[in-house]
Amino acid sequence: MIQEIWLRFLNGADIDALNLGAADVIGAVEDVVAAHGRGETVFEPRTHLVPNNGGTGHFNVLRGHVDSLGERGLSGVKVVGDFVPNYQQGLPSELALMTVFDPTNGVPLAIMDATLITEVRTGAMTAVGAKYLARKDSKVLGHVGARGTAFANVTMLDSLFPLEEIRVTSRRPESREAFAARLREVTDTPVRAVATADEVFDGADILVEASRLERPEPLLRTAAVKPGAFVVPYGTISAVELDLLDVMDKVVVDDWRESRSGRFGSLRAHVDTGRLSEDSLYAQIGEVVSGQKPGRERDEERILFWHRGLSILDVALAHLILTRAEAADVGTMLRYR
């Protein structure tokens, strides 16, 4: 006798209909980051699949488990493509699919479009880091990058700080102007699109480098980091100078094991050359959020937060989405067996 197993399929439109708010997303991410700091999560560093496609992009495979989600915890796997030229086809550069499982018996519970998850969880992680590591009175946000996670980065930071100016740029003028226009539709904070990264970062309190480079190029220069600044470089390809860490009072990562893994990441050269090591690292963000280590202690501290994207964030947001979808009976039930 075959026991029937059904799972819920949630497409992008289903997830959009749930109307998740920024506060909901930031809260879910903050909770799971604290759980990570307490040792209540399991995850493996991401792996990469690089097809023979002429260098147009690659896939990231992320796997994670969180003890505290639901009655029995939740496990999940996300596969996300990273294809920078996708804009030429009218597609997001990152398209993702997530599957979540019952960790006690391996039964698949849901399959969902994880493109939104990928966008908002990165912005939420930037926001959580800023909540604990940036100056509370930060006034100027400088952001390089206009696609993918950029909108969530800026809007979530804007929701947490008394910003007086947002500066944005990207490689293509039409992209940065469209991004600025989109931001002006949702915020009263003045938004200015500028031509260069130097203009974006000049005198900024919060500096976010989220570029989509094809080869290393120093967009975020060490000299731009003033006392009291909070710096978030997380582009796939490095856009910072090698001496950036020399001026930092504290360097925080999402997970040190994740920071050491893979071929990509904005501080890959710093890890590979020993400029960033377990000894020079101040903390993992979970240690700060869970209260084991203090975050910002002085206004003049320069603090850098490097987050590569933990799978447990995807699992936490998948749980939030699935819980809301079940309550609203949203999605399509599919027979698995």
Cα–Cα dist 100/76, whole Å: 4
The residue ranking higher by pLDDT, 270 or 200, is: 200
Say yes or no: 218 and 302 in one domain.
yes
**Do 110 and 143 fall within a single domain?**
no
214: pLDDT strictly greater than 80: no
Give the range of the structural domain holding residue 277, as residue numbers without chain letter: 123-309
Residues 79, 183 within the same domain: no
Residues 154 and 286 in one domain: yes
Q: Are residues 300 and 316 in the same domain?
A: no
Mean of pLDDT over the chain: 93
Q: Are 164 and 276 part of one and the same domain?
A: yes
189 and 216 together in one domain: yes
The whole-angstrom separation of Cα 310 and Cα 336 is 28
Q: Is residue 143 part of a domain?
A: yes
183 with 243, same domain: the answer is yes
What pTM, to 2 d.p., does this model score? Answer: 0.91
Q: Is the confidence at residue 185, as pLDDT, over 80?
A: yes
CATH number of the CATH domain containing 305: 3.40.50.720
pLDDT per residue as tens digits for the range 61-116: 999 999 999 889 999 999 999 898 888 898 888 899 999 999 999 999 999 999 99
The string of DSSP letters for 118-155 reads HHHHHHHHHHHHHHHHS-TT--EEEEE--STTHHHHHH
CATH no. for residue 320?
A: 3.30.1780.10
| pLDDT at residue 128, as a whole number | 98
Measured at the alpha carbon of residue 252, what is the angle toward residues 318 and 31, in degrees to the nearest 5? 30
337 inside domain: no
Bridge partners (DSSP) of residue 61 are 47, 79
Task: Specify the pLDDT at position 266.
Answer: 75
For residue range 127-177, what is the model confidence (pLDDT) as tens digits? 999 999 999 999 999 999 997 789 999 999 999 999 999 999 998 999 999
In tens, the pLDDT along 259-309 reads 887 667 778 888 888 889 999 999 999 999 999 999 999 999 999 999 988
Q: What is the pLDDT of residue 85?
A: 86
Residue 258 has pLDDT above 90, yes or no: no
Q: Which of 240, 15, 215, 262 is nearest to 114 (CA)?
A: 15
Q: What is the tally of structural domains in the chain?
A: 2
Q: Quick check: 316 pLDDT over 80?
A: yes
Say yes or no: 141 and 194 in one domain. Answer: yes
Contact 106, 97 (CB under 8 A): no
- Residue 317 inside a domain? The answer is yes
Half-sphere exposure of 39 (CA within 13 A, CB side): 1
What is the DSSP annotation of 52-86? SSTTS-EEEEEEEEETTSTTT-EEEEEEEEE-GGG
For residue 33, give both structure tokens. 């980051």
For the segment 18-51, what is each residue's pLDDT rounded down to a tens digit? 999 999 999 999 999 999 999 999 988 888 899 9
Shared-domain flag, residues 96 and 157: no
